[in-house]
Amino acid sequence: MPSPAGVPVAGGIVHRRHLPGDISGSFSGSANAVTPTADTPTTSVLTFTSDSTITGAVKGKRGTLIVKNAGVFTTKSDGSIVDLQTIVGGTGKLAGAQGFVRASGTFSAADGGNSEYEGSVCVG
């Protein structure tokens, strides 16, 4: 999916512990906007919004989650990122899904990154 802001993202979601509600699968998306703030010259932090999908399984139900993201990241070398992912729907057995997932970790357009996720996904 082409990114209006020039930052496509894709990857996999894996978890260390297999719990009944875990999300497993892959994600892809693209940034809609990357915006500096008044403090960006001091903090190197930019805000972003994006659309993404997570294709896989939640609680053993397979499908695709449709997600709207909003977050911040630093352009410094550690690539720190915080992302609030609002689940606005789904397909397959995940149709009608809703909820929130919070992610924090690192991101680099060149090298990818690693994040930890927590949140709640409600499926029918």
Question: Which residues 6+ apart lie within 8 Å of 110 measured at CB?
Answer: none
Question: Which residues 6+ apart lie within 8 Å of 101 measured at CB?
Answer: 23, 67, 84, 85, 87, 117, 118, 119, 120, 121
- Segment holding 49, helix H or strand E: strand 45-58
**Identity of residue 42:** T
Give the global pTM.
Answer: 0.81
End-to-end CA distance of the chain: 28
pLDDT at residue number 117: 85
Task: List per-residue pLDDT tens for the chain, 124 residues long.
Answer: 344 455 555 554 544 444 445 788 888 888 899 999 999 999 999 999 999 999 999 888 999 999 999 999 999 988 899 999 999 999 999 999 999 999 999 987 777 788 888 888 888 7
Ordered strands of the 80-92 beta sheet: 8-13, 23-36, 45-58, 61-74, 80-92, 98-106, 115-122
Hey, which residues does 118 pair with through a beta bridge? 102
